[in-house]
Structure 1
Amino acid sequence: MKVESAEVELAYTYAWWLTGDEQAARAAVLQAVARPDVQGADADLRTEVLLRRVRAAAVSAPTMCPAAELALLHDAMGVGLDSAAGLASIDARDARTELAHGRLEALGPGERFEITHPERLGGLAVGNPADVAASRQSPELAQLRDLIARGRDELVALSSVEVPPDLIAQATAAAPPPDAISFDDIPTVDPLSDDPDAEIAPAPRRPEPTAAPEAEGEGDATGAATAEVDDEIDLSEEVAAEPAASGPRRRTWWPWVVAALVVAGAVAAIAGMGGDDGDGADDAAETEVAAPAADPSPADPTPTGEPTPTGGATPTSEPTPTSEPTPTDSPAEPEAFAFGRAGVAVGIGGDPDFDNPVATPFEPVSITVEYDGGQDGDALLADWVVDGQPFDVERADLSPLLDSTRFTKQVPEDGWPVGQHVLTFTLERTGEVVGEARFQVVAEG
């Protein structure tokens, strides 16, 4: 996949913390970027896919405490909390609490503290207003909040890893496309030479005879002229004598192809000369004696009744009609926007479901919209309602280079509201309602 230098630094940092070994981390990054791109993925999904590939290439089993890995991904590497929880194999419902534990572990074993209200750990880690307000009323919670914030800062400072510059250059280098290879760069080897490094010199080109239109009475004359000229054709300019010494022979068939083409060209030229006014074999023989066999240069005869072209131009079999006007290129108009469909993926890394999928209150969801004709600066506004009641408004950017977009929203602390969720999409540029996405939230059983 095509990656930027910042993505390589992110991937190497993660691989190093998973393995603790520079060579293993380097190999994991190169193996991850060697896999194909994810078409239509946004920046967040690209990052998650890259890190998943790095993790799979680096280790086969967890090597870090899940809470510490979650905090490393979220705080030090800037990965979204839901994506970080999926990478660390943590339930999305426990992600906030595990984030707090990961930050506290970064303080080291020498730090002493007491957790008096464990139910507020997650809220303090993400700055939930109710838990922050409670910390202002309780000294124990205030101390715990300060420790969580200090652990986050310690983790960010500790996680910095120096990335080898040559790895960045190697991982970001794009391979040339297959059609970038020029055939002019491929040396031509002489197949008749014993020297494998010898290059063949270009043979002198003969003027190509142009076949004239068929005329009446040329059958016998053509045959007689062909029989007389077969023994006179000299191929010494095209085919060199075979050397007596034995040696490697490669592609020795091509000189015979050249010989066949020369014979065919000479025969076609004589056939054209033999059809002059239908005079028979005697005229054909005289023409053959007058013109050298190796250089058929006489002009092509023009059959009776057809006008002679001026300026020496060769008549073509299918002349371009002059009565039709030449079409002119008109500037291409921008493609009109067309909404395809929208689906919801339930869970981390799931595929979008376009038929009203079902989720539980604490399952992460992401919305994928397929479209055509996006322009620069286009965006979709999603009016999000639950059982007809307003819930939220989201914005999804579009691109003329893509045909789909994906966005997600962090699971609320209390979970998704139970009910039918409907997102109605409006094209921001025109204000036109273009489509919708649906999913249901049911209470856990």
Structure 2
Amino acid sequence: MAGNPLESPRTRRAWWSLTAGALVLGLTLAGCAGVGADPDVLETEPQPTETPTAEPTPVETDALVETDEPAETEAPEATDEPVDPRREVAVAVIGIEHIAGEGIEMRSFVAEYIGEGTCAYTAVDADGVEHVAEVAALPDAQSTVCPTTYLDVAPGVYEVVIEFSNDEVIGTSEPVVVEVDA
């Protein structure tokens, strides 16, 4: 290849690419440097500023009443009940039914938690009397089981709820109504 190296198309393309890149870089740097900017604005020495001052406001002292007794204030009322720090879990009812000669049979489990705790079975009669049985929960491979439990109660209609609790979690089932025949 004798002659001018820019005669080759490949060399010419490279030369134009480098020239265009250099031009873009030069324009970018010129824009960052503030070419043509007002030199007074670019000055970095601090300029004195005027400090505002506050004027005192006179207060009428005749309107003030002095007293030796503290002002009466009302004690604030608590608006929220204490919050239980334990995590809520769902207690699922497997079955609640009347078994003749046995009483109310209750079965449930906690699907969201595997661990020990207490299952409290509560049946409330029409007069509001609570009949309670507590049993130890049994953790298994996939849940915590509240074992089958019986409450021996008089004939009537009862609303039954099952609560599981320990130091970490607490949960209560939806109420189930059961009728106990004579």
TM-score between both structures, scaled by the size of structure 2: 0.38
Larger-Rg structure: 2
Q: Which has the higher strand share?
A: 2
TM-score between both structures, scaled by the size of structure 1: 0.18
Q: Which has the higher helix share?
A: 1
